[in-house]
Chains A and B, each alone.
Chain A
Amino acid sequence: MFKLSGYNFKFCILFQIIFVLFFSISAFAAGEQKRVQKHDWTFAGIFGHYDDAQLQRGFQVYREVCSSCHSMNYVYYRNLAEEGGPGFTVEEVKVIASEDIIIDGPDDYGEMFERPGKPSDTFVSPYANQNEARASNGGAYPPDFSVLAKARSTLRGFPWWFVDLFTGYQEQGVDYIYALLNGYSEPPEDFILQSGMHYNEYYPGNQIAMGQPLYEESVEYADGTVASVEQMAEDVSAFMMWAAEPKLEIRKQMGFKVAIFLFVLAGLLYYSKKKIWARIEH
């Protein structure tokens, strides 16, 4: 192993101080949009898991509010009944799927036709294609939700990005979505808002084409939870995280087993190594 002599250790310390200074400069230069706060998610951290009831509520919010503009092209109805998901039963999923109209075809006569959805279909899309979506929304394309929770982030700044490396905090995307959904307010006096745009504290540039999507009681939750804006925003953010990372629970559980295995193997190997190397002077 390297041994640092005292003198050259001081050198390193000096350099480190200089670079911590650099890092802090960058933290201050982070732009006008409001810093997103870390939220408490059940699926964060090494023991993270989804809250089934929350995902079901989030699905309801998506379906009744978001899905009128936002597609979810990579998510299948059958996923709703899969392990590590919102925990709907197979029968419930069949009903959910059949409530949507899917355009299928062409049939034997070359015509497209409508049919009720099946669990093997992907979520029905509100628009036929991107151009239609754009045209219906004043030129702004409502992004697909399938992986959006992984496609957004927040500027964590030093030292947080470094801390995140070793704490496993990967929920910057949902943090942002949650903040954004709660971030609508009246613009400040001196702010020039373009027509058709809406003021949002957390959106880069503070002008967002999407109007405030959630209001108190926008949906009526089946489980009796009070549908406040914060509650709905939290639920739908969690649902989007699940949509983006459906294997998260399985992944973390498997990771735990793998880690235990590796630690035991490392211990055994260390002991074997000591035994073998005891044969010679080293």
Chain B
Amino acid sequence: MSDKDPKQPSRRDFIFLATGAFAAVGAASIAWPIVDQMNPDATALALSKIEVDISQLERGQAITVKWRGKPVFIRRRTEEEIQMASRVDIDSLPDNNARNYNLSPDSAASDENRSLDENGEWLVMVGVCTHLGCVPKGQSLGDSKGDFGGWYCPCHGSHYDTAGRIRKGPAAKNLDIPAAEFINQNVIRIG
């Protein structure tokens, strides 16, 4: 047999190599379904848009809705809150990126770039602290709103201002703004 033939040692090696490589490819392709099954399933993907009725919300009030398993803060801000947010010098902010999914990724963190409508009345943000994922306080009337009148994360003391921008504490980024739009004057679609 060629196995004992010194002229053809490479053919035998090739077969072993090919067998090993083939088996490795097989093992890798069976691994993929086992990994992929942990990704969001078809129901989760199908539910990635929600519509929220905001017709009952007065100025100064806020509601929290669940979107993709996370809280989304919707706040109809008072004139005073808008003023507080727009007075801030953007360069002095720890994070001067708008973090707004609806805008280009390099937009500045101005108050106009954070709010949903032109008047700056509506603020829609993912209510998850950008430090380690707790939900900041500030939605309910009795909550501590932190040093800047917006939100305050009780886990590690991050303070957000009235436009949801990080001002003090360990968090490095402003609260995320998800894809959102008014589909009519009473309904906001998120996602």
A interface residue numbers (CB < 8 A to B): 76, 78, 108, 119-120, 261-262, 264-265, 268-269, 271-272, 275, 278-279
Contact = CB atoms under 8 A, between A and B. Distances in A.
B22 A264 contact: yes
Nearest to A79: B42
B46 A76 contact: yes
Contact of A265 (B1, B12, B23, B43): B23
B15 A265 contact: no
A119 B46 contact: yes
B31 interface: no
26 contacts: A76-B42, A76-B43, A76-B46, A78-B46, A108-B56, A119-B46, A120-B43, A120-B46, A261-B22, A261-B25, A262-B26, A264-B22, A265-B19, A265-B26, A268-B15, A268-B22, A269-B19, A271-B15, A272-B15, A272-B16, A272-B19, A275-B16, A278-B1, A278-B3, A278-B4, A279-B3
Given A78-B46, A275-B12, A268 B26 contact: no
B48 to A, nearest CB: 9
A107 B13 CA distance: 70
Given A120-B46, A278-B3, A261 B15 contact: no
Contacts, number: 38
Contacts of B16: 272, 275
Contacts of A279: 3
A271 B18 CA distance: 11
Contacts of A264: 22
Given A261-B25, A265-B26, 8 more contacts: A120-B43, A120-B46, A262-B26, A268-B18, A268-B22, A271-B19, A278-B1, A278-B3
Interface string B1-32: 10110000000100110110011011000000
A262 B43 CA distance: 33
B47 interface: yes
A261 B25 CA distance: 10
A44 B56 CA distance: 56
B15 A275 contact: yes
The CB with the most chain A CB atoms within 10 A, among B15, B19, B43, is that of B19
The CB with the most chain B CB atoms within 10 A, among A76, A108, A269, A272, is that of A272
Nearest to A271: B15
B34 to A, nearest CB: 15
B182 to A, nearest CB: 19
Nearest to A78: B46
Contacts of A108: 56
A100 to B, nearest CB: 16
Contacts of B42: 76, 78
Interface string B143-182: 0000000000000000000000000000000000000000
Interface of B: 1, 3-4, 12, 15-16, 18-19, 22-23, 25-26, 42-43, 46-47, 56
Contacts of B26: 261-262, 265
Contacts of A272: 15-16, 19
Contacts of A268: 15, 18-19, 22
A269 B16 CA distance: 8
A153 B43 CA distance: 30
Contacts of B19: 265, 268-269, 271-272
Contacts of A78: 42, 46
Contacts of A265: 19, 22-23, 26
Contacts of B15: 268, 271-272, 275
Nearest to A262: B26
A78 B3 CA distance: 59
A269 to B, nearest CB: 6
A269 B20 CA distance: 9
A76 B45 CA distance: 13
Contacts of B47: 120
Contacts of A76: 42-43, 46
A235 to B, nearest CB: 26
Nearest to A272: B19
Contacts of B4: 278
A265 B47 CA distance: 42
B146 to A, nearest CB: 28
